[in-house]
Every structure is written in structure tokens, then in C-alpha cells.
Amino acid sequence: MFTVAQKQHSTQDLRRLDKQYVWHPFAPMKLWLESDPLVITAAEGMHLIDSDGRRYLDGVSSLWCNVHGHRVPEIDDAVRRQLDRVAHTTMLGLANEPAALLAERLMAVVPSSLAKVFYSDAGATATEVAFKLAAQYWHNVGRPERNEFVGFAEAYHGDTVGAMSVGRIPAFHRPYFPMLFPVHFAPTPYVYQYDLEGASEDEKPEFVKQHCLRELKAILERHGPKIAAVCIEPMVQGAGGIIVQPPGFLAEVARLTKEYGALLIADEVAVGFGRTGTMFACEQERVRPDLMCVAKGLTGGYLPLAATFASQKIFDAFLGDPWDGRTFYHGHTYTGNPLACAAALASLDLFERNKLVDHVAKAAGSLWHMLQPLKDLPHVGEVRQLGFMVGIELVGDKATKAPYDPRLRVGAEVCLRCRARGVIVRPLGVVVVLMPPPAMGEDDLRTIVDAVAAEIAGL
């Protein structure tokens, strides 16, 4: 006999309940209410299974977070073992075992500039923590005038107010502009869409890179003494459309930031944990940030956990007597949740045991070959890839790069049609995003690419 929790509900019932009560993130709800949403009730390995038993490859890593697949025995067991001890205990005033063990393990893999970890529970909280730490660091060292931030156009750091201020995507954030704090925005080297007269296609990446760096330098030249930090999504600007930065851009941003005395915040929420072919994207250009944010892949995509790493220098500036006003008064109820930390520890074991970063680096080459034919499709403007992060930009007219009418929702349409082929992917506007879990094998990658290619070809 089923208990209430185990009772099997029909797809129709679940859809009805969802539509009646649930407000979905990033969803135009009018369209949602007119649709027949998939209801996921189970998963196995790289597949999600819906309430009618149909299986779909998780081509979006359950929103860029799943790493090893679903229902991974080692992570399941680690969470169950922790559940037998304690599910949650606060980090305000108490330490806990998995959080301490995880901190040590993380320190062994993050860039060597980082010495301390501050836990929270989402990418947006990790970036908010970084902004607040940067601002308070300068306050604590007697330079309170350094309280302004530099970000990049179309960057994304989450949906809380600080995160929306520093990473501002007009399509998402326009209604909130009046409540955001002012930020200096440098241009993003979005080579494909960059209007640059006189440069050939071959020269363009370098020209665009140099142009963006000059603009960044001009901002730092003008406002340098007031800048607390420069914040960047290293190597790939994710939600802005999987914009892969030209080689050398990140390293030069880091160099300029240092030259002007500001802190460097690396937002590795999307790119961290193997997705670009190295454990952290910063490694690819030997960048050592002062603050680094991770979330999504930290627990293998199992449970909400985030971390903001800080250098020893930053940490030391917060030491003092309680009445000195140096304390970082920030925290979240579920900070350092033991179940999530246990999942993260098991995930790190799997990274090592399965040599997962090497797998991504190697399989990314095969993925690149699979993607080449898409470049010839009439409505594909550009295919961008770094590791297992892929953006396929659709255009109305390939020759002129004229965009599709947004009302056609071509990106969403392609992704919807892929479901009939047993593949779940999700667009960012006109960019179809492939973000397979780092552990995905080449056969499954091929299935995803073939499904997407067929649906784009049919546009």
C-alpha cells in the first residue's frame, strides 16, 4: 500500500497541480499555462524520466549543475550516511564535520591564491558574498572609498540585487534597473556580434579583445582608486549566450585589475568543476583571483551549496575584536548544510577516481568534431564551444546576421522539438545551449548533437 508520499499520481493530476499553484523561474507563465509541461519523476544516469516513463538525455545538466549523472550510487550513499547522523545544523556558532572536511578538500583544488571558504547556498549568494567581502575588505583596511565595481556587459551573476547590479542582462533585469547600484561596465569580447570596421574574420578575435581591454583600462584609469573589485565570468560568459572569450583576455583582465590595485572576483559558478576542461576555468590562463565563487557543480548537482573563496590577505583584514567592526555579518540559514557537503565530498572523490577533468578535455575534442556540420546549416550564425559548454547562435539571415524576430522564439522551439527525440536542452534566447554533464560519454553527446542539428536544419 502507498503512503501519501509514495502515491503515484497521473501526469494529468501533476500538471493540474503544477499549473494551479506553481510559479516557475524564468518562465513566461502565460505560455506555461497553455502548455503541457513535462513532469520529471525519476532519473537514471544521464537520463531524466517523466511521469509517463519516457526517458530524456539531460543535455542541460539540470541547469548546468549535474556532473556525474543522476542517482550516482556513491553520492546517494554519502547523502544517506550523512542523513543517519544529522541533516542540518547551523554554522552560526557551530562547526560541522562534512563542512570542515570539504573545506580542506576544496583548498587542495582551487587556485593557490585562495585560503578560506565561506559557504552559502546558491550562485547568487556566492557572488553577493564576494561583493560584500570586497567592499568590507577595503573598509576594514582604511580605504572605504574603494567601493565601486567593474563588471562586463551582459554578464550574469545571479538574480539578487547585488548580483543583478554587477551582472546585468537587460532582458532579465530591466524592471529592476532603478534599484540596482551603479557599476562600471566594460565591453564583453562577443566577437561574433562585435561591429568592428576594417578587421578580417581571422583578425577579429584579437582586435575585439584589444578593443575591450582598452575600454577596461580606460575605466580603471579614470576610476581606479575607487574600484573595490573587477568581477568576471572566466573564459566563458554563460547566461549572456555562451560567449567564449578570446585567448589571453582573462589573463589580461587579471593583470590590469592588479595594476590598478583592485581585487579580482572570479565567478566560476557556471564554468567551475570541470565544465571547460579544467577543474576551474581560471587555471587555463593561470589566473589567481582574490575571491572566487562556485555553486552549481559543487555537489555534483545534487543539493544546493555554494562557496566563496577568499585569499588570506582578505581574511586577515576581518580579524579583530568584536567591537572593532571588522566582522563579516553575513550568513544564510542553510550555510554549509551537512547533507550538501557530504554530497560534495563524494563528488570530489568521483572527480579523482574517474579522472573526470581529463575526460572532459578529451571528449570536448570529439564534441567539437560532432559540431562542425552545424556550422553549415543556413540558420546557424556561430557555434561556440569550450569544453562541455556549447552555444549555437541562430540567425534569421546568415549573411547579414539579421536576428530572428524574438516573437518566433526559435531557440525555445528547437529545444521543445528535441524532446520528441529524447533530448532535453534549453536555449538562451536565440542561442541553443548544450551543457552536458561532464561525465557524459561520447555516444550520448552524439545523440544530443544529432537531435539539435536535425531540429535546427528543419527551421
Ligand X SMILES: Cc1ncc(COP(=O)(O)O)c(C=O)c1O
Residues forming contacts to ligand X in the complex (CB under 6 A) are 122-124, 127, 156-158, 233, 238-239, 267, 269-270, 295
Q: Which is nearer to ligand X, 305 or 364 (CB)?
A: 305
How many CB atoms are closer than 10 A to CB 47? 18
How many CB atoms are closer than 10 A to CB 263? 26
Q: Which is nearer to ligand X, 207 or 249 (CB)?
A: 249
Q: What is the dihedral of CA 203, 208, 209, 210, to 10 degrees?
A: 90
Q: Give Cβ neighbours of residue 168 (< 8 Å, ≥ 6 apart).
A: 151, 153, 154, 155, 177, 180, 183, 185
Q: Provide the minimum distance between the beta carbon of 269 and ligand X in the complex, in angstroms, as a whole number.
A: 3
Q: Which is nearer to ligand X, 151 or 224 (CB)?
A: 151
- The strands making up 431-434's β-sheet, listed across from edge to edge, are 380-386, 389-394, 431-434, 426-428
Q: Which is nearer to ligand X, 308 or 311 (CB)?
A: 308
Name the phi and psi angles at 392, rounded to 5: -110, 105
How many CB atoms are closer than 10 A to CB 459? 16
Give dist(CA 237, CA 234) in Å, integer. 7
Q: Provide the minimum distance between the beta carbon of 132 and ligand X in the complex, in angstroms, as a whole number.
A: 15
| DSSP codes, 379-442 | TEEEEEEETTEEEEEE-SBTTTTBPPPGGG-HHHHHHHHHGGGTEE-EEETTEEEE---TT--H
Q: Provide the minimum distance between the beta carbon of 61 and ligand X in the complex, in angstroms, as a whole number.
A: 11
Angle at 311 between CA 307 and CA 314, to 5 degrees: 105
Q: Give Cβ neighbours of residue 348 (< 8 Å, ≥ 6 apart).
A: 102, 105, 106, 109
Q: Which is nearer to ligand X, 275 or 379 (CB)?
A: 275
Q: Which is nearer to ligand X, 56 or 64 (CB)?
A: 64
Give dist(CA 350, CA 332) in Å, integer. 28
Is residue 59 within 8 A of residue 434, CB to CB? The reply is yes
Per the DSSP assignment, residues forming a β-bridge with 229 are 149, 263
Q: Which is nearer to ligand X, 106 or 370 (CB)?
A: 106
Cell numbers describing residue 413: 522551439
Q: Which is nearer to ligand X, 168 or 379 (CB)?
A: 168
Q: Provide the minimum distance between the beta carbon of 387 and ligand X in the complex, in angstroms, as a whole number.
A: 15
Say if strands 55-58 and 423-424 run parallel, antiparallel, or are unpaired.
parallel
Q: Provide the minimum distance between the beta carbon of 388 and ligand X in the complex, in angstroms, as a whole number.
A: 14
Q: Provide the minimum distance between the beta carbon of 199 and ligand X in the complex, in angstroms, as a whole number.
A: 29
Cell numbers describing residue 55: 526517458
Give dist(CA 353, CA 58) in Å, integer. 23
Q: Provide the minimum distance between the beta carbon of 122 and ligand X in the complex, in angstroms, as a whole number.
A: 4
Say if strands 236-237 and 263-267 run parallel, antiparallel, or are unpaired.
unpaired
Give dist(CA 292, CA 38) in Å, integer. 35
Please give the residue whose beta carbon sits closest to ligand X in the complex.
123
How many CB atoms are closer than 10 A to CB 300? 29
Q: Give Cβ neighbours of residue 198 (< 8 Å, ≥ 6 apart).
A: none
Give dist(CA 191, CA 170) in Å, integer. 19
Q: Provide the minimum distance between the beta carbon of 324 and ligand X in the complex, in angstroms, as a whole number.
A: 32
Q: Which is nearer to ligand X, 317 or 339 (CB)?
A: 339
Q: Provide the minimum distance between the beta carbon of 351 and ligand X in the complex, in angstroms, as a whole number.
A: 20
Which run of H or E residues covers position 227? Answer: strand 227-232
Q: Provide the minimum distance between the beta carbon of 181 and ligand X in the complex, in angstroms, as a whole number.
A: 17
Q: Which is nearer to ligand X, 306 or 395 (CB)?
A: 306
Q: Which is nearer to ligand X, 127 or 335 (CB)?
A: 127
Q: Provide the minimum distance between the beta carbon of 167 and ligand X in the complex, in angstroms, as a whole number.
A: 7
